[in-house]
Homo-oligomer: A and B are copies of this chain.
Amino acid sequence: MEMPLPDPAVLAQKPRLVERLLQVLPPEAVIHDEMETRAYECDALTAYRCPPLVAVLPSSTAEVAAVLKICHDMGVPVVPRGSGTSLAGGALPTADSVILGVARMNDVLETDYENRVIRVQTGRTNLSVTGAVEEEDFFYAPDPSSQLACAIAGNIGMNSGGAHCLKYGVTTNNLMGVTMVLMDGTVVELGGAHLDPGGLDLLGVICGSEGQLGVVTEATLRILHKPEGARPVLMGFDSNEVAGECVSDIIRAGVLPVAIEFMDRPVIRATEAFAGAGYPDCEALLIVEVEGSEAEIAEQLGLILEIARRHNPVELRESTSAEESARIWLGRKSAFGAMGQINDYMCLDGTIPVSQLPYVLRRIGEMSQQYGLGVGNVFHAGDGNMHPLILFDANKPGDLELCEAFGADVLKLCVEVGGCLTGEHGVGIEKRDLMVDQFAPDDLDIQMAVKDVFDPQWLLNPAKVFPLAASLGRRAG
């Protein structure tokens, strides 16, 4: 993946930049030693690395505003960073940029159970938002796999989802307001603990904007009351197609499980060898989970099992205890780790109409043959959010490039069948050059014109989201 050359004029300003940053931040919040900046050289897309010029760790909105104002004055690009768990290179620095990490901003600012909202600083981790309200039996719904580590800032940047977003929606459906600092240091408030206000609703365009428009420092989030109980059922089928049809039929029937997870044979085998969850040896597995009171669970599962039986499952295992439920989920939750034991992998993230699942799975299998690279599928089937894991050997010259080409073909296929390039990981650097496959030139132009409004000099999170040539051209003005 090509990265732009650093701006030598910016590099030359480093001493003056550090001096100015130290005027607004305490010394421990300004990291400029070359060895220490290496800690910020990549996120979870580790194939790409580049240490930043400086990293800063402000602890308030006012400090963020002061940092951005300095960078804006000096023409220094800024890369906002949550916890660095992006799988799309969303927090990858350039050599001439300041990494702005929000990790020290993790306070709960307000908890309001009557209006079902919590307000937090955005460096707070996803899981610890739920942690702050679970004593009162509430929770925050979006649950990315990385929820123990990932920050709300990154969740908002990427519009993150998770296994349970089939029922509860992704971040945008659970975000009610933000405090955001623009590149010039202006602080704006968008949304709040109420329905959409009048005027243009900019909150929706902020959510998922991947740090292109500003740095979100505080967020008002919807919290929900915990359901009384939940129960998963494990279903095995002897083909991906049949499993895909079963998913379609469940959705079609109008019953809404909280999760429908899909695993194909390569993932089932790797997972079983790694975690020993007791999965059957079959072509495709579904985990379907429902929530509610005992009566609601029984009713929903009754309907779901009836649909599953029509597809001749080779296994149909309804959990009968908390231990069994944990065991059913154990395999799914170990799947990424298990695949990592086999080889390096690249985790894709495309979304398709649910009805296209059987076709797309078959085409991915054919491409796997063609490219000579193995692939495993483990994903949120209920909303068509696929995560093919392409296996490659990082030490074998050319393998990464082959893997990238395979990945690009899969994502183009997603767009072709009426889906899109990303479900919850964002575009980052990974998919920026595929944006032309998703969007017509007019569609992209208008997105970039909106970026112009918020960040006229294109200093925020450079060289991402938009095709590289376009964003470099825009930056040059």
Contacts and interface: CB of A to CB of B under 8 A. Distances in A.
Given A173-B173, A205-B204, A198 B421 contact: yes
Interface in A390-428: 418-424, 426-427
A139 to B, nearest CB: 10
Contacts of A447: 199-200, 202
B254 A138 contact: yes
B159 A196 contact: yes
A474 interface: no
Interface in A170-226: 170, 172-173, 182, 186-190, 192-205, 207-209, 212-213, 224-226
A32 interface: no
Nearest to A207: B201
A455 B374 CA distance: 49
Interface string A90-129: 0000000000000000000000111110000000000000
A182 to B, nearest CB: 8
Interface residues of A, number: 87
A202 B254 contact: no
B197 A254 contact: no
A35 interface: no
Nearest to A380: B195
B203 A420 contact: no
A35 to B, nearest CB: 34
A197 B112 CA distance: 32
Contact of A195 (B137, B197, B420): B420
Contact of A453 (B172, B202, B449): B449
Interface in A229-279: 248, 251-255
Contact of A205 (B189, B205, B443): B205
Contacts of A248: 114
Given A172-B196, A199-B466, A205-B205, A224 B254 contact: yes
A315 B222 CA distance: 33
Contacts of A351: 194-195, 197
A5 to B, nearest CB: 25
A172 B226 CA distance: 25
Nearest to A201: B208
A304 B8 CA distance: 66
A202 B440 contact: no
Contact of A203 (B112, B204, B212, B450): B204
A205 B201 contact: yes
Contacts of A113: 252
A444 B442 CA distance: 26
Given A173-B173, A197-B438, 12 more contacts: A112-B355, A113-B252, A159-B201, A170-B195, A172-B196, A188-B443, A192-B420, A196-B420, A198-B426, A200-B450, A201-B209, A450-B450
Interface of A: 112-116, 137-138, 159, 161, 169-170, 172-173, 182, 186-190, 192-205, 207-209, 212-213, 224-226, 248, 251-255, 292-293, 295-296, 299, 351-355, 383-385, 418-424, 426-427, 431, 435, 438-440, 442-444, 446-447, 449-454, 465-466
